[in-house]
């Protein structure tokens, strides 16, 4: 135990972790040394940021190019009324600073693109996708598959949410893990799926889904428990039901299949239906 670096304040702060056999001081040290890139500081990103910071995940990167709007506050709980008009990444970073001074926060006030995704993702152990658009989801999936970076996916719609985890580890126990494109090979046509500004969203819904994503990330960093790899968890808030369906790898998947057509993120037109470029 003498080589552990938890000080007295940390032992107090994380005491409910430290006393658990499954975590202990060694596990807490792993969390403090862990790093997570969170793409999106909105509805899903807010609870994920809160609980990862509270759990003592030592380094958080937050990517978002939006500013706080008053209509966000019904669900995006790391922001307050005084933050309206401020960049979401700054508001989120300030929240973390008041919650847990142990945590280092890197802010990226930018949109994730083919030009910056590789540089950003390379700095972190795992990516948490809290984005709200298909272009970012497919870009993250494709890059994480190609770079073998684990990815936590979450999405919400009105009263429903879904979560899964892609380890992208083809040398692990599951030699043929699925990816997002195995489930959804291409994005729907632009404009065919309305966003929450059009259809609304239950304010507490992203809290549940984002917390499940944070749980998956914590388990991954600890190396404990069973991840949602190969399983899609679907949550219906109105019926208060959870359903898990198995997700298999698709041998014809364009990015992780037997004969992949996507060998680089440059092969894809991410602003359309995220299909392979014709040229």
Q: What angle do CA 233, 147, 122 make, to 5 degrees?
A: 100
What count of other Cβ atoms lies within 10 Å of the Cβ of residue 131? 24
Q: Are 149 and 127 in contact (CB under 8 A)?
A: yes
For residues 214 and 195, what is the distance between their CA atoms, to the nearest angstrom? 23
DSSP conformation letters of 179-194: -HHHH-SSPPPTTSS-
Contacts of 260 (CB under 8 A, 6+ apart): 253, 254
DSSP conformation letters of 130-172: --SSHHHHHHHHHHHHHHT--EEEEEEEBTEEEEEEE---TTS
Whether residue 196 lies in the annotated active site: yes
What count of other Cβ atoms lies within 10 Å of the Cβ of residue 279? 5
**Residues 100-119: b if buried by 16+ CB within 10 A, e if exposed:** bebbebbbbeeebeeeebee
Kindly state the DSSP code that residue 277 receives in the 8-state scheme.
P
Q: Looking at 196, 253, 256, 274, which residue is catalytic?
A: 196
For residues 54 and 18, what is the distance between their CA atoms, to the nearest angstrom? 14
Q: Which residues are catalytic?
A: 196
């Amino acid at each position: 135990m003498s080589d552990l670096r938890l000080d007295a304040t940390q032992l107090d702060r994380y005491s409910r972790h430290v006393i658990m056999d499954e975590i202990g001081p060694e596990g807490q040290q792993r969390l403090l040394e862990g790093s997570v890139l969170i793409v999106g500081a909105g509805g899903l990103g807010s609870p994920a940021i809160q609980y990862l910071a509270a759990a003592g995940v030592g380094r958080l990167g937050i990517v978002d190019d939006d500013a706080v709007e008053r209509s966000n506050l019904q669900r995006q709980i790391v922001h307050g009324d005084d933050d309206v008009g401020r960049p979401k990444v700054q508001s989120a970073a300030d929240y973390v600073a008041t919650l847990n001074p142990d945590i280092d926060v890197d802010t990226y006030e930018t949109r994730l693109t083919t030009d910056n995704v590789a540089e950003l993702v390379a700095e972190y152990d795992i990516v948490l996708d809290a984005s709200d658009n298909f272009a970012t989801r497919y870009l993250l999936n494709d890059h994480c598959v190609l770079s073998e970076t684990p990815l936590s996916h979450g999405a919400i719609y009105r009263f429903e949410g879904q979560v899964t985890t892609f380890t992208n580890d083809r040398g692990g126990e599951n030699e043929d893990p699925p990816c997002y494109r195995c489930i959804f090979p291409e994005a729907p046509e632009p404009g065919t799926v309305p966003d929450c500004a059009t259809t609304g969203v239950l304010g507490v819904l992203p809290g549940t889904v984002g917390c499940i994503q944070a749980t998956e990330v914590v388990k991954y960093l600890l190396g404990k428990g069973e991840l949602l790899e190969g399983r899609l968890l679907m949550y219906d808030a109105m019926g208060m039901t959870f359903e898990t369906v198995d997700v298999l790898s698709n041998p014809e998947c364009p990015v992780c299949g037997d004969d992949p057509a996507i060998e680089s993120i440059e092969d894809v037109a991410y602003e359309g239906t995220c299909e392979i470029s014709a040229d």
